[in-house]
Amino acid sequence: MGWLTWLQELGSDADGVAPGFQAQSMYLAVCVVLPVTVGLFVGFSLRLVERVLGVELGRGGH
Amino acid sequence: MPGDFVLGIESFPYLILFGLLIGGLGGFFGVGGGFLMVPMLNVAFGVPYNIAVGSDLGQMCGMSTAATVRHVRFGNIDFKLGVLMIAGTATGVEAGARVLEVLKHAGTLTIAGHETDAMSLVMSLVYVALLVFLGRAMIRESLRTIKRASGRVELASEAPASPVASRLRTMKLWPMVSLPASGIEAISLWVILSIGFATGFLSGMLGVGGGFIRMPALVYILGCPTVVAVGTDLFEIMFSSGFGVLTHSFKGNVNLVLVLALLIGTTVGAQLGASYTRKAGGPWVRFGFGCLAFVGVIMVVIKLWLKFTQG
> What is the structure's pLDDT at B27?
76
Interchain CB distance below 8 Å, A34 and B70 = no
A17-36 exposure pattern, b = at least 16 Cβ within 10 A, e = fewer: beeeeebeeebbebbbebbb
B262-292 exposure pattern, b = at least 16 Cβ within 10 A, e = fewer: bbbbbbbbbbebbeebeeeeebebbbbbbeb
Q: Provide the 3-class DSSP secondary structure of residue B109.
A: strand
Instruction: Mark the ranges of chain B whose per-residue pLDDT is less than 50.
Output: 1-3, 153-158
Instruction: Nearest by CB to B62, from A1, A21, A38: name it.
Output: A38
> What is the structure's pLDDT at B1?
43
Q: Provide the 3-class DSSP secondary structure of residue B154.
A: coil
Choose the mutation target among B70, B238, B264, B268 for the interface with A, i.e. most A CBs under 10 Å. B70
Instruction: Nearest by CB to A28, from B69, B101, B250: name it.
Output: B250
3-state secondary structure B3-54: HHCCCCHHHHHHHHHHHHHHHHHHHHHCCCCHHHHHHHHHHHHCCCHHHHHH
Query: In this predicted model, what pLDDT tens digit does every residue of A16-60 receive, in sequence order?
Result: 666 666 778 888 999 999 999 999 998 888 888 888 887 776 655
Least CA distance to B8: which residue of chain A? Answer: A8
pTM of the model: 0.86
Query: In this predicted model, what pLDDT tens digit does every residue of B192-236 receive, in sequence order?
Result: 999 999 999 999 999 888 877 888 888 888 888 888 888 888 888
Q: Is A15 on the interface with B (CB under 8 A)?
A: yes
Closest-CA distance of chain A to residue B174, Å? 34
Choose the mutation target among A1, A21, A28, A31 for the interface with B, i.e. most B CBs under 10 Å. A31
Closest-CA distance of chain B to residue A53, Å? 15
Closest-CA distance of chain A to residue B141, Å? 19
- Are A58 and A46 contacting, i.e. CB atoms less than 8 angstroms apart? no
Q: Could you report the predicted ipTM of this complex, rounded to two decimals?
A: 0.85
Closest-CA distance of chain B to residue A25, Å? 9
Residues in chain A closer than 8 A to B245 (CB atoms): 31-32, 35
> What is the structure's pLDDT at B229?
84
